Amino acid sequence: MAKSRSGTRGRRGPRKPVRRDLNGQGVAAQVAEPRERGAIELPSTITVKDLADLLDVNPADVIRELIKSGIFANINQGIDRETASLVAEELGFETAEAAPVGVAANTDGSSAETAPVSAATKEQLYEEDDPSLLQPRAPIVTVMGHVDHGKTSLLDAIRTTKVAAGERGGITQHIGASEVVKDGRHIVFLDTPGHEAFTAMRARGAKVTDIAIVVVAADDGVMPQTLEAIDHSRAAKVPIIIALNKIDKPDANPDKVKNELAEAGVVVEEYGGDVPMVPVSAKARLGLDELLEMINLVADLQELKANPKRPAIGTIVEAELDKGRGPVATALVQTGTLRVGDVIVVGETYGKVRALENAAGKRITKAGPSSPAVVLGLADVPQAGDILRVVDDEKTARTMVEERKAATAARSEGTGKTTLEDLYAQIQAGQTKELRIILKADVSGSLGAIVHALQQLSTEEVRINVIHEGAGDITDNDIMLASASNAIVVGFNTKVTDTARRASESEKVDVRLYDIIYKLTDDISAALRGMLEPEMVETVEGRAEVRQIFRVGKSAVIAGCYVTDGRIVRGGGARIWRGGRIVLTDRIEGLRRFRDDVREVATNFECGISLAGSNDIVEGDIIECFTQQMVSRAAR
């Protein structure tokens, strides 16, 4: 690495430095007198892309140096001046301190205010401000947990008993966030509590939640989605509060829940851990005050603050196209104050705020930190998780949106996601120190053995980290968690749902399916050594339902089938599904339509199917036809 930095990659000769704002725009005239070769002025905060532009190097070089220092940042993430200076010095440049963020030098030496800039996470947003300007803000809470454990009931109980009074106090089901008041302090609850939405927003670079409440039913215990909620909260590094719901039921067993949580690595305070647990009953309205008090206590420990006097930065919670009002977005202001008339940039769209509405549906003129507000005036409908930011004028907004669209088009050419194919190259380049894996298996009993086998593969260069494991099919929720965490998805004796398959294609997430443990571990091990062999890629051609069984001779069996999906191909592989499980795998040897042998049968047609090596077929079975071909790893 040292040799590379001393060569031409790190610097490309003397160049006249241009100071840019954090959007990559030149905000001032070029410096009148050129500095020494490589001398760069650095603001207090700068994105990876802008630092690469200032140094005139590839952004991958900057990211590589950050990772060597233990900092995992994407191209649009902000870093502080000290970190940027270290990276620049490693690449062979001298650095100098620039004017403070938000102030740019004019040609006459005076200063001019520039538009404030959003970083990828709320912590970085707040670090931009002078500490003396920061004021306490309300915590933002997300409620997650297993189906039927009472998430919605708990939210409804809290909202109906602790509605905020006055202008900020109304609650409506049609806004993505709501406010309540406890002891004169506001608490904001996101009304999209599922961890799917939680992770989808994080996958887009937004970190909105300050506290995660995981609801567990006292009469049911820890369930698969409970574990998912815990894993999603941990991946986002969000403090957890356990809400032990349904404690009023006669079969409630709190001790059982605490033990199961401990087995999952969540040790409650009663057992000497650091995770608070509050017994509640949404139906009987028990423990609600205690839960709100705990939220305020955890919020106090985080010292949540924001600067209400700066232009607003926030995150889109939900958005839709209203026939009468046009694009309507629910924004959660995280710092600054959003006002009617402000020009805003949201993701790849922009507009001028025509109107603001609070949670009660009443028109307001401004929204401060930790305030949810409905925003009208955008040109297009943004996506959940997009960052909202106030800029100086519409010309600046238009330029920023055009640049973002161009950057999105450029990124689509290269996914930037972790795959087994490029893992070895990333290790060699110092870009990867941890391989994150989402693991799904057919039964929970297989998970422990697979996790243990994977952990044995960790090396000095890269550590294997299974950030989530569970039994069942691979779902779109697994894909979104992998996308947010830059992980790969590994399935053992399980399948990918149709929605998950589409999500993996759109999110460019690497999904691997195995039916033998040693093949799974061999692939991971080979990837770590850069020795992946060409692999057999499977394509599901179609499915047919067995309607009738015909016996020919003493042993031959022909299944009379109806093709429900895709096509059935003679010579293709066959998986027999019975009662939701695979009972055997074989090959389709014979395929007939009436008395004719055919090569394939399409959807909505009947056919006769005979297998090559088994006659274990019964009425009601589903025959899944698949084909396989050898594909180079680099070609995938």
- Chain CA centroid to CA 532, Å: 28
Active site residue 151: yes
Classify residue 342 by its DSSP letter. -
Q: Which entry of 49, 195, 258, 495 is annotated as an active-site residue?
A: 195
Interatomic CA distance for residues 104 and 107, integer angstroms: 10
Could you give the CA distance from residue 535 to residue 523 in angstroms, rounded to a whole number?
Answer: 10
Q: Which of 49, 122, 151, 246 is catalytic?
A: 151
Would strands 596-597 and 326-335 be described as parallel, antiparallel, or unpaired? unpaired
Residue 468 φ/ψ, nearest 5 degrees: -155, 140
Which one of the listed residues 53, 56, 152, 162 is annotated catalytic?
152
Query: 564 by DSSP, 3-state: which?
Result: strand
Q: In whole angstroms, how far apart are CA 334 and each of 13, 100, 123, 405, 564?
A: 42, 22, 10, 24, 50
Q: What is the 3-state secondary structure (H, E, C) of 157-196?
A: HHHHHCECCHHHCCCCCCCCEEEEEECCEEEEEECCCCHH
Q: Which is the catalytic residue, given 16, 148, 392, 564?
A: 148
Q: Please give the Cα distance from 318 to 192 (Å, whole number).
A: 9
In this structure, how many other beta carbons lie within 10 angstroms of the beta carbon of residue 183?
8
CA 14/CA 34 separation, integer angstroms: 9
Question: Is the separation of the CB atoms in 307 and 314 below 8 Å?
Answer: no
Q: How many angstroms separate the Cα of 192 from the Cα of each of 223, 224, 600?
A: 20, 20, 46
For 88, phi then psi, to 5°, come to: -60, -40
Are residues 228 and 440 in contact, defined by beta-carbon separation less than 8 angstroms?
no
- Residue 47 phi, psi (nearest 5): -80, 160
Angle at 374 between CA 304 and CA 151, to 5 degrees: 65
Asked about 146 being catalytic, the answer comes back as no
Q: Which residue, 387, 368, 392, is CA-closest to 305?
A: 368
- What does the alpha-carbon distance between residue 134 and residue 304 come to, in Å, rounded to a whole number? 9
Secondary structure string (H, E, C) spanning 208-257: CCCEEEEEEECCCCCCHHHHHHHHHHHHCCCCEEEEEECCCCCCCCHHHH
Return d(Cα 33, Cα 15) in angstroms, integer. Answer: 11
Q: What residues have CB less than 8 Å from 99, skipping those under 6 apart?
A: 43, 105, 111
Residues with Cβ within 8 Å of residue 30, at least 6 apart in sequence: 16, 17, 18
Percent helix / strand / coil, the chain, rounded to 5: 30, 35, 35
Helices (H) and strands (E) in the chain, counts: 16, 35
Tokens of 635: 């070609």
Residues recognised as catalytic: 148, 151-152, 195
